[in-house]
Amino acid sequence: MKNSFRRTRIAATLALTLSVFGASAAPVQPVKNIVLVHGFFADGSGWKAVSDILTHDGYKVSVVQQPETSLADDVKATLGVLHMQEGPSILVGHSYGGAVITEAGNDAQVAGLVYIAAYQPDAGESLATLTEKNPGATKAIKKTADNFLYIEPAQLHADFAADVPESVTRFMAESQVMPSVRAFTDPVTTAAWKTKPSWALVATSDRTVNPDLERFMSKRAGSTVVEVNSSHVAFLSHPKDVAKLIEQAAVGSSK
C-alpha cells in the first residue's frame, strides 16, 4: 500500500512539473524547404556543392534561375519557386540575390532569410545606391552598349573568385550571366528582414561587395552573423560554412 501511494505521488509530481514547464519536450523540427537564389554574373548551378550537403542532411532544396532583367522579374521568378513548396521555406540569397530575397521574403510562406556575401537593402535602396556609399575593391565591372553588366574576364578570378581554382574561374568568365543595369538600380520596396529572422555570412576577402558594407547591412538588419575568410563566391569556396549557416537558420526559424 505504501509503495502504491509513493508511485501515485511521484506520478502526480511529474504531471504538475509538465503542466508548469510544458509537456512538449520534443526537439524543434527545422524548416525543411530551402530556396537558393543566385547573384550577378553566375547562375543557379553554382549552388551544387551547398545543395548536395543540404540534401544529404535531409532538406528539400530548390534553386531559382531568375532572368536578372529587373528586380520585379527576379522576385516573381523566386516567388514562383517558393509557392511550389509545401509549407514554410528558408530563402537564401547570394550577392544581388540578397536584394531579391529581401523583397520576396515578405511572402507569408517565408520563415527566414539567409544572406551570403549579399546585399540587404532597406526600402528605397538598390545595389547602386549601396555600392555608391561603400564600393568594393574591384574596378572590373563594365557596362555593355545595351545596358547589361559584366566582369572583365581577365579580372574575374582575382576580383570575384580568388579562392576558386583558375580552371574553374576561366569557364565562369566565359559563361558569366550578364545582368541588366535595371536590376542593379531597381530599389527594394519593403525590406523583409524587418519582420523575418535573418542570418548573414560576411566574406572578409570579398573584392566585389565591400566586407564593411556587408557588416553594416547585417548589423542594421539584426542578422545573426558569421565571418568567413572567403572571396565573393563563398558558396563555391566554402560550401560547408554556407550550408552550416543555412541549417542554423532552418532550426532558428522554426516555430
> For the chain, what is the domain count?
1
CA distance 201 to 213: 12
Domain of 72 in residue numbering reads as 33-252
**pLDDT tier at 29, thresholds 50, 70, 90:** confident
**pLDDT for 23 beyond 70:** no
Please check whether residue 188 is in contact with residue 104, taking contact to mean a CB–CB distance below 8 angstroms.
no
pLDDT digits (tens, 9 = 90+) for 158-168: 999 999 999 99
- Quick check: is 204 in a domain? yes
- Quick check: is 20 in a domain? no
The pLDDT value recorded for residue 255 is 67
pLDDT digits (tens, 9 = 90+) for 193-218: 999 999 999 999 999 999 999 999 99
The pLDDT value recorded for residue 235 is 98
CATH number, domain of 40, equals 3.40.50.1820
The pLDDT value recorded for residue 191 is 98
- Quick check: is 26 in a domain? no
Return mean pLDDT, the chain: 92
Instruction: State the cell numbers at 20.
Output: 508548469
CA distance 99 to 183: 10
- Quick check: is 8 in a domain? no
- Quick check: is 1 in a domain? no
**pLDDT tier at 17, thresholds 50, 70, 90:** very low
